[in-house]
Structure 1
Amino acid sequence: MTASPGPPAPAAPPVDERLPLLRLLPLAAQHVLAMIAAPVSTVFLIAAGLHLPPARTASLLSATLVLCGAGALLQSFGVLGTGARLPFMMLPGGAAVAVFLETAHAHGAATASGSVLLAAALLLAVLPLYGRLLRFFPPLVMGTTVLVIGINMVHVAAPMAVAGRRPALVTIAATALCFLMLRGAWRQLSVLIGMVAGTAAAALTGGDAFRTVPGDAVLALPQLLPYGAPRFDLLAALPLMVLALASLAEATGQTVLNSEAVGRTPDPARDVPRTARADAVTSLGAGLLGGPVMVTSAENIGIVRLTGIRSRFVTAAAGALLVLSGLLAPVARLLAALPTAVVGGAALVIYAVIAAMGIDMLRRTDLADRAASTVVALTLLAGLLPVLAPQLYAPLPGWARPLFGSGVPAAALTAVVLSALFGRVRPPRSPVEPQPPCVSPSSCRAGPAGR
């Protein structure tokens, strides 16, 4: 007798789906091209601020690309509780770059590197306490934080798009048309196709569309301790250390958002420490290689939502491409030469999608409740004032300006503090309508208006 075949093996969750190589590579390249402007511009900014020679700049670019790739691999695969096993990318932290340069100017580059190491060590030290801090990150906090992230990133990307209006508009229009009109695998490449169309428009318009990146080396190896032995100064490191703590709110929102985007039930108590631990480990590498604090990127979550491809192996392949790009100097120079306006146009689409995700998370909160609506209003104020009226923060002392004068950290801290305060002073609900605890956005019930 022939044994009857057993039941078919259950399909892998979308986040664990393994794609064929020919399909995987263009999807991975799409993630790389969408985020490449951030590490490249960060390196050029640091090089200009520290007056680095071309050889040192090339070495720092190599190190930053390798760190971005290693961080993406760590987040995608997860090793020994480090990395969330979600499709995440890694970037140099936006506000942290400004603090790094300020520290370098005031105390020297070696002290700035030491501050990065201290901030990463502090983040690692507080992560075992995250379970106790979880109640400070309800959906109200996370949704508002994600919304502010999207708006602030649109503000960051807008000047890049203005650098070449026509290529940026072509990139945006082509991405939108591809998403609306194409289906299947072609639709999943909408961002990449849009960038190709924008690059073609930049080539046709001529001018200074493509940046010139000098160099003729084939291999580019990161340099260990490029500023000498790190110097540890707790007072000088305080702004970066506070930013590292504030990043927990951002990491919470991004991890929950990414979990929902890939169809996984959010579990902040389990996944957020893994996400933040990968940030901290990669930042330790950045401190040794001369870079700023590294953080998990939100922009690739927009690509996941746009394309519907939720596999973490795509971002793992993107991480491998970044490591390869960092070690092969010609590839790094080619990526660094991408037209700024094209990258900016693609970023505008992606960050707008992230802002919309924040609105979707807020939709699950009862905004008819006066306390909740007040928290949202004041958090938006704290997150947008640094963008709309940065001069208001000029009188602040140097240690406070990077924290409160930067939209995302200020919004995250405001949301956490106000949510906790209003939770304490809010009168208890009537026992007739008991409310279940809200562990994650997907487990929260709608408010009275939504029942």
Structure 2
Amino acid sequence: MSDGNTAQDSIKNEDLVEYGIEDTPEFSKALPLGVQHLLAMFLSTVALPLVIASAIGLGNSDTTYIVQMALLVAGVATLVQVYQIGPIGARLPIVMGTSAIFVSPLISVGTEFGLAAIFGAVIIAAPIEVLIGYVFDDIERLFPPLVTGIVVMLVGLTLIPIALQYSAGTPGTDTFGSLRNLGLAALVFAVALGVNQLFDGFMRSAAVLVAVIIGYLAAIPLGLLDLSAVGSAAWFSFPRPLAYGLSFEPSAILIIGFAYIITSMETISDISGTTESVGRQPRTEETQGGLVADGVMSAVAGIFNAFPNTSFSQNVGLISFTGVASRSVVGIAGVFLIVFGLVPKVAAVVSAMPNPVLGGAGVVLFGMIISIGLRMIAQGATLTQRNLTIIAVSLVIGVGVEWRSDALAQLPSEAQVLATSGLIMGGVTALVLNAVLPENGDSGTPSVMGDPIAEDDD
């Protein structure tokens, strides 16, 4: 019976495919389709480096350069996934960009140790994801949707204070928390929410990007947009490897290594979603190649002063929606990213984005990350008493140590970096509790307050 359903689903998917993975649309069609992929991922690719750079106190020129490198590496990584270099790459239409999973850990590392430690940890820990690609079948049971969903939720939850801070402006200035700043952030938030709810298709998926563009323009008459750095930025420049040096801090490497484990789960899901759009499961070499590319290109990112890369789920959704799974279309998006990454003026325009605009977008973006984690749990785990306990304890510990890190101020400095990371503490708590708490006899156990939330299938 299940085989019949699978075959029927495959036929339905094939009927919805306009261009398959190996199909090449004529250029007049491929170009706008590639730009569509670029628009779907552009905001996240530039917003996350902006958040990290601002949080660790980088100046305008450094921020512009890191955004430039984020675009460049994302473009190269996308082309590697699309066209493959040896065993590196899935040969699938996968768009790459800065991973949200790493934002909170990188801020913790950068605040404590600086940029050199960030890039050192990014490079040294990257092989973890390569290794996962080859042993995933043996360790998959350790990372069920319950655990990975909790960690993804923690990513969004630990970033909430940053979104609210940006919405108020720049801390320490006279205008911090002014009605002008909060009003601009509210405008971005309202537009994003309105477009998402009132439109369908691509407009809905690009709602935050539309809101940011409107907020960016609205900042001009409010006197909040400073484009002075754009005029002095060059039209073209080559990257400078290891421009900020490297340092290797054990606690920083542990934090980033754990983030690589979690982002590999996200990549596996994205690869499955991509092939499912054309009615099949991913082949082993595609999953392995995709994970190897994630790890290798994240190490390359560290060398070229960018943050770790991963597959972008919104572009997987775009493929399913449009029925265009062509690798060559995604390759066009990768070329655009490389071009933008070689033009500092583009990065300077992006880096000039006022904090309230980024804050208003951050409220939506980080909230969406929380909802994605919640959906992962809802779709992959039964909400029994055991699982609800794991969720509750993990989230409380993760959010607690992140938001009140001063409670652990008496710990040694190395231990503080680990102990105050919500992703590490909450994620490890979820991992350990899921491994040690028994599942037998949990079926049908009432949830908190005595109401049965769900029952196990058996």
TM-score over 0.5 for the pair: yes
2:361: which partner in 1? 346
Following TM superposition, by how much is the alpha carbon of 1:165 offset from its aligned partner in structure 2, in angstroms? Answer: 1.9
Mapped to 2, the partners of 1:169 and 1:193 lie a distance apart of: 14
- Give the match's secondary structure for 2:336: helix
Mapped to 2, the partners of 1:14 and 1:393 lie a distance apart of: 54
Q: TM-score, normalised by structure 1?
A: 0.75
Q: Taking structure 1 as reference, are residues 276 and 23 closer, same or farther at Cα in structure 2, changes over 3 Å only? A: closer
1:38: which partner in 2? 48
Q: Taking structure 1 as reference, are residues 98 and 143 closer, same or farther at Cα in structure 2, changes over 3 Å only? A: closer
2:449: which partner in 1? none
Following TM superposition, by how much is the alpha carbon of 1:327 offset from its aligned partner in structure 2, in angstroms? Answer: 0.4
Mapped to 2, the partners of 1:86 and 1:409 lie a distance apart of: 31
- Of residues 76-85 and 124-133 in structure 1, the stretch that sits farther from structure 2 once superposed is 76-85
2:296: which partner in 1? 281
2:420: which partner in 1? 405
Following TM superposition, by how much is the alpha carbon of 1:59 offset from its aligned partner in structure 2, in angstroms? Answer: 5.0
Aligned 8 A contact 2:236 2:344 in 1: yes
- Give the match's secondary structure for 2:367: helix
- Give the match's secondary structure for 2:219: helix
Q: 1:138 aligns with which of 144, 147, 160?
A: 144
2:312 is the counterpart of 1:336: no
Q: Taking structure 1 as reference, are residues 310 and 382 closer, same or farther at Cα in structure 2, changes over 3 Å only? A: farther
Cα deviation per residue 1:32-86 (whole Å; 9 max; x = unaligned)?
Answer: 13431222454566673xxx895x7765553333123323444566655545646
Mapped to 2, the partners of 1:188 and 1:115 lie a distance apart of: 33
Q: 5+ residue gaps in structure 1?
A: 1-6, 434-445
Aligned 8 A contact 1:59 1:223 in 2: no
Q: Taking structure 1 as reference, are residues 14 and 157 closer, same or farther at Cα in structure 2, changes over 3 Å only? A: farther
Q: 1:165 aligns with which of 165, 175, 182?
A: 182
Q: 2:225 aligns with which of 198, 209, 216?
A: 209
- Of residues 25-34 and 130-139 in structure 1, the stretch that sits farther from structure 2 once superposed is 25-34
Cα deviation per residue 1:116-159 (whole Å; 9 max; x = unaligned)?
Answer: 43222454345433322111011211222222223233443232
1:252: which partner in 2? 265
2:217 is the counterpart of 1:200: yes
2:207 is the counterpart of 1:190: yes
Mapped to 2, the partners of 1:21 and 1:182 lie a distance apart of: 24
Mapped to 1, the partners of 2:47 and 2:164 lie a distance apart of: 13
Aligned 8 A contact 2:158 2:403 in 1: no
Q: Taking structure 1 as reference, are residues 270 and 349 closer, same or farther at Cα in structure 2, changes over 3 Å only? A: farther
- Give the match's secondary structure for 1:223: coil
1:322: which partner in 2? 337
Aligned 8 A contact 2:74 2:337 in 1: yes
Q: How does 1:242-391 map to 2 (within 5 A)?
A: 242-253=255-266, 255-256=268-269, 259=272, 274-291=289-306, 293-296=307-310, 301=314, 304=317, 308=321, 317-364=332-379, 367-391=382-406
Aligned 8 A contact 1:145 1:253 in 2: no
Aligned 8 A contact 1:82 1:277 in 2: yes
- Give the match's secondary structure for 1:90: strand
- Give the match's secondary structure for 1:419: helix
Mapped to 1, the partners of 2:193 and 2:67 lie a distance apart of: 32
Mapped to 2, the partners of 1:184 and 1:365 lie a distance apart of: 26
Mapped to 1, the partners of 2:119 and 2:457 lie a distance apart of: 50
Cα deviation per residue 1:255-280 (whole Å; 9 max; x = unaligned)?
Answer: 43785599558879877655543332
Q: TM-score, normalised by structure 2?
A: 0.74
Q: Taking structure 1 as reference, are residues 261 and 114 closer, same or farther at Cα in structure 2, changes over 3 Å only? A: closer
Q: Taking structure 1 as reference, are residues 145 and 98 closer, same or farther at Cα in structure 2, changes over 3 Å only? A: closer
Aligned 8 A contact 1:31 1:318 in 2: no
Mapped to 1, the partners of 2:259 and 2:49 lie a distance apart of: 21
- Of residues 157-166 and 87-96 in structure 1, the stretch that sits farther from structure 2 once superposed is 87-96
Cα deviation per residue 1:298-353 (whole Å; 9 max; x = unaligned)?
Answer: 6x539948995686767655443332222012212112122332233223223323
Percent identity between the two aligned chains: 22
- 1:143 maps to amino acid: G
Aligned 8 A contact 1:371 1:426 in 2: yes
Mapped to 1, the partners of 2:275 and 2:250 lie a distance apart of: 36
Mapped to 1, the partners of 2:399 and 2:286 lie a distance apart of: 28
Q: Taking structure 1 as reference, are residues 305 and 177 closer, same or farther at Cα in structure 2, changes over 3 Å only? A: farther
